[in-house]
Amino acid sequence: MREKLKIAFFLGGGCGGCDMAAMDAVQAILDLQRLEIAFWSPIVTDNKYEDLDAIPDGAIDVGFYSGMIRLSDQELAAKTMRRKCRTLIAYGTCAALGGVPGLGNFHTRKEILHTVYFDTCSTENPAGITPQTECLEGECELTLPEFYGEVRPLKAVVEVDHFLGGCPPHHSFVVQIIYNILEKGLEPPDPWITEGKTVCEACARNPVAKGEQRKPVGAVKRLTDGVPDGDRCLLEQGYLCLGSLTQGSCGALCPRVNVPCAGCGGPIPGVKDFGLRAVSAVASLLENEELVAQIPGPAKLFYRYTLPASLFGKKVK
């Protein structure tokens, strides 16, 4: 009998949604009976960094690192996962691109700390205390991780073998990936693990798939501006959908329930800056230039998931 494939999951700076997707798939994963989960922290077990560090280097076949990196302990864990795992996957949009927490890069470290510890209506901080990496409490020395100046994706800290988008990735796709690893190994032609379709290609609303010509966008709408027609392309109706340049391994789940694609699946191959390409794609379909001014929060709309991995990486003054 072939030796079991050893896998590990580690959550850095994220919400835990990617781990929950893996947990939704765990029964199907365990049914394969050829896997050993060597480490899964902190969502499933209360293992500490020392437990991960004690695993021999290279002992884990495939590691799934989810979450972005903004704290020094997250950076340390990422580097340790790289040593322990023969193959390391940036699992989910936060690890692959920075994700929603990456929008923090529109603000400086000082601005963020000021908002959190001084500028909210519920905060009372007359002594002006902010987190310090070291402090003495009686005879005890207390430490906190360093809060870095910006969010970084995993690839900015260590070498990454493969990337998997999604916020979170759909659990059925996680099962498929692990099954493919067991059967064929993990050597896709592109470092991004994808089914090779855009959200538009997977979407039943796509007018091109129906043999129709795409119509220009005559208005810009928010979801609060009424209920979209369930059969028509959301973008044609004015709801800013980014499905044309987003990987569609999700099966276009959001458009199915009248929600425009926001780009969480990550860019299609060849796109170096998702936000810039999104601006170009949407602008080319607008009926007139006046509509540009109606786009709500364009920087945070087009860079919702990808700012740290973009060409700029953060706000440039």
Question: What residue spans define the domains of the chain?
Answer: 5-100+149-184, 108-148, 196-317
Q: Does residue 189 come out as left (phi exceeding 0), alpha (psi in the -120 to 50 range) or beta?
A: alpha
Q: Does residue 189 surpass a pLDDT of 90?
A: no
Residue 5 tokens, joined = 């494939």
The verdict on whether omega for the bond into residue 298 sits within 30 degrees of 0, i.e. cis, is: no
> pLDDT-based confidence at 209, cuts 50/70/90?
confident
Kindly report, residue by residue over 151-172, the tens digit of the pLDDT.
999 999 999 999 999 999 988 8
Q: What secondary structure letter does DSSP report for 311?
A: S
Residue 247 tokens, joined = 């990987």
Kindly report, residue by residue over 17-75, the tens digit of the pLDDT.
999 999 888 777 777 778 888 999 998 888 888 999 999 999 999 999 999 999 999 99
Return the pLDDT at 61: 93
pTM of the entire predicted model: 0.92
Q: Does residue 217 surpass a pLDDT of 70?
A: yes
Q: What's the rounded Cα separation, in Å, for the pair 210 and 150?
A: 44
Kindly report, residue by residue over 73-129, the tens digit of the pLDDT.
999 999 999 999 999 999 999 999 999 999 999 999 999 999 999 999 999 999 999
Q: Does residue 186 surpass a pLDDT of 80?
A: no
Return the pLDDT at 146: 96
CA–CA distance from 285 to each of 200, 219, 238, 299 (Å)?
A: 15, 11, 10, 18
Q: Does residue 177 surpass a pLDDT of 90?
A: no
> pLDDT-based confidence at 191, cuts 50/70/90?
confident
Cα-based angle 73, 273, 155 (whole degrees, multiple of 5): 25
Count other Cβ atoms within 10 Å, centred on residue 87: 17
Mean model confidence pLDDT for the chain: 91
CATH class of the region 5-100+149-184: alpha beta
Q: What's the rounded Cα separation, in Å, for the pair 91 and 16?
A: 11
Q: What's the rounded Cα separation, in Å, for the pair 280 and 290?
A: 15
Q: Does residue 240 come out as left (phi exceeding 0), alpha (psi in the -120 to 50 range) or beta?
A: beta
Q: What secondary structure letter does DSSP report for 154?
A: G
Q: What is the largest CA-CA distance in the chain?
A: 75
Kindly report, residue by residue over 230-256, the tens digit of the pLDDT.
999 999 999 999 999 999 999 999 999
Summarize the confidence of residues 184-199 as an average pLDDT: 80
Q: Does residue 1 surpass a pLDDT of 50?
A: no
